[in-house]
Amino acid sequence: MLIVALALVAIVVAFVFIWRGNDVRLVLFVAALCVGAVAGQPGAVLRKTAEALSDGRYVLPICSAMGFAYVVRETGCVAALVRLLLRPLARVPRLLLPGGSAIAFVVNMAIPSQTSTLAAVGPLLVAVKARLAIGAAATGAALVFGASIAGSLVNPGLAEVVAAATLTAIPAPQLAVWLAPAAMVSFAVGLVVLSLVRWRLAARDTPLAEEQPEDKQPQPEDKQPQPEHSALKALIPPLPVVWLLLGHPSLPWHAWMRRTMPEGLEVFTAMLAGSALALTLAARDRTKATRKLFEGMGYAFMHIITIIAVSAGTAKALEVAGVLGAFVDLARGNPLIALSAAFVLAFALAVVSGSGTASSVALLTAIGPRAAELGVAPLELAGILLLAAEAGRTTSPVAAVLLFGSHLTSTPAKTLSHRLVIPCFLGAAAGALLCARLA
């Protein structure tokens, strides 16, 4: 029990450091090694971390999906999609806030990065809402909510979906189809609650500025040129995801589509094909766009694969220290307590760390293999963890997407966080209940 207590103290201290702005990967890696050393098995923790860094089940789909996201952003396809979706909303001002959230939700399905989604959608929608004198806090909360709450769970290349697919032994495209209804319910319920919060706090909200000072203009890491409007470009971003989702075994053409993609490389193949299509049909400078493809892959490895690796190492440290065994012993025989504790833990860890990937992957790796001992289905547990982690990250004042939204609308991050916490929690809870019913 002493080792378990020391391990828990180390994890709590680690998340205090993360909350104060230290790099989540460095802090978790050091904490995992410390816990492993206390348990007498630091080598096992190091080995698990190293193995995760080179695991093709994570590297290939995640890196290819982010490479595709960089290509469609560089070629102007995402901006064309946003303009196409925004056109009908501009005629009905009352629909701009919920409609803006919905646009961000749709774009996040194609771009498995919340900050990149907000960078693509936010500036244009903020400019439209500023002319209509819509509140800054309401605009920021709506955009962050749409870009982050659960849209990316429909993308089979998302890190969390890939990790859940590994746990459940269900192909990522099929798992994304299963998650889609819960993700949409989570978005719909959260949006209703967010609208009620906006109505109640409307008197306190200040209108968006018509123009932001140049030094306050938030810029994405790779500033893209403003493209011309093109319906063809607008169709490219969702194509790989649609292709993957149409390959579900329940559909009559599944056998034919299975022959078009190597087994185990479905996501990788679809994302590369989508990138090739964007380079061929939409790129003005194909050399530059090709570089963006590989930059996106490198970004995914640096910012996502490394988080998965340290999360796997942390889970291994908790296993060798006996923390997971103690949790299983406490929750065994009561699935409701186990699932409720998993939901709250995933949500809280994501709020503290600002990372939905770190929270969900760590818990999937740690308690997922013990689902049978807890008396719950692995699929049910995975869905609940993913929805809770996405929601927790959305409301975290240290999450990159919320900080970007704060800068974009000149609203304090804590103000956005306070507006989002109840809608995100209730929305994720509704989605989790649906997951439990569908599993």
What's residue 209's pLDDT? Answer: 62
* Separation of first and last alpha carbons in the chain: 35
Residue from 135, 282, 256 nearest 207 by CA: 135
What's residue 214's pLDDT? Answer: 40
CB count in 10 Å sphere of residue 97: 25
Q: Residue 62 is encoded by which pair of tokens?
A: 């995640």
CB–CB of 297/63 below 8 Å?
A: yes
Question: What is d(CA 114, CA 130) in angstroms, rounded to the nearest whole number?
Answer: 22
Give 64's Cβ-side CA count (13 Å radius): 24
What's residue 229's pLDDT? Answer: 53
Q: Is the pLDDT of residue 32 over 60?
A: yes
Question: What is d(CA 112, CA 238) in angstroms, rounded to the nearest whole number?
Answer: 12
Q: Is the pLDDT of residue 167 over 70?
A: yes
132 or 214, which is more confident = 132
- Helix or strand holding residue 69 (H, E): helix 56-74
Label residues 389-400 b or e (16+ Cβ within 10 Å = b).
bbbbbbbbbbbb
Residues contacting 124, CB < 8 A, separation 6+: 79, 82, 83, 86
Question: What is d(CA 319, CA 322) in angstroms, rounded to the nearest whole number?
Answer: 5
Question: What is d(CA 216, CA 210) in angstroms, rounded to the nearest whole number?
Answer: 13
Residues contacting 422, CB < 8 A, separation 6+: 193, 197
Instruction: Give the three-class secondary structure for 135.
Output: strand
Q: What percent of the chain has pLDDT over 70?
A: 93
What's residue 218's pLDDT? Answer: 43
Q: What is the mean pLDDT of the chain?
A: 88
Question: Locate tokens 């409007």: which residue?
Answer: 229
What's residue 103's pLDDT? Answer: 93
- pLDDT, tens digit (0-9, with 9 covering 90-100), for 393-417: 999 998 999 999 999 888 999 999 9
CB count in 10 Å sphere of residue 300: 26
Question: What is d(CA 146, CA 105) in angstroms, rounded to the nearest whole number?
Answer: 5
- pLDDT, tens digit (0-9, with 9 covering 90-100), for 103-140: 999 999 989 889 989 988 888 888 777 666 678 898 99
pTM over cut 0.95: no
- pLDDT, tens digit (0-9, with 9 covering 90-100), for 348-367: 989 988 888 988 998 898 88
Residues in the chain: 439
Please state which of the ranges 159-168, 175-184, 317-326, 384-393 shows the lowest mean pLDDT: 317-326
Q: How confident is the model at residue 199 (pLDDT cuts 50, 70, 90)?
A: confident
- Helix or strand holding residue 265 (H, E): none
- pLDDT, tens digit (0-9, with 9 covering 90-100), for 216-254: 444 444 444 444 557 889 999 999 998 888 887 778 877
- pLDDT, tens digit (0-9, with 9 covering 90-100), for 84-100: 888 888 778 788 889 99
Residues contacting 260, CB < 8 A, separation 6+: 269
CA 430 to centroid of chain Cα atoms = 18
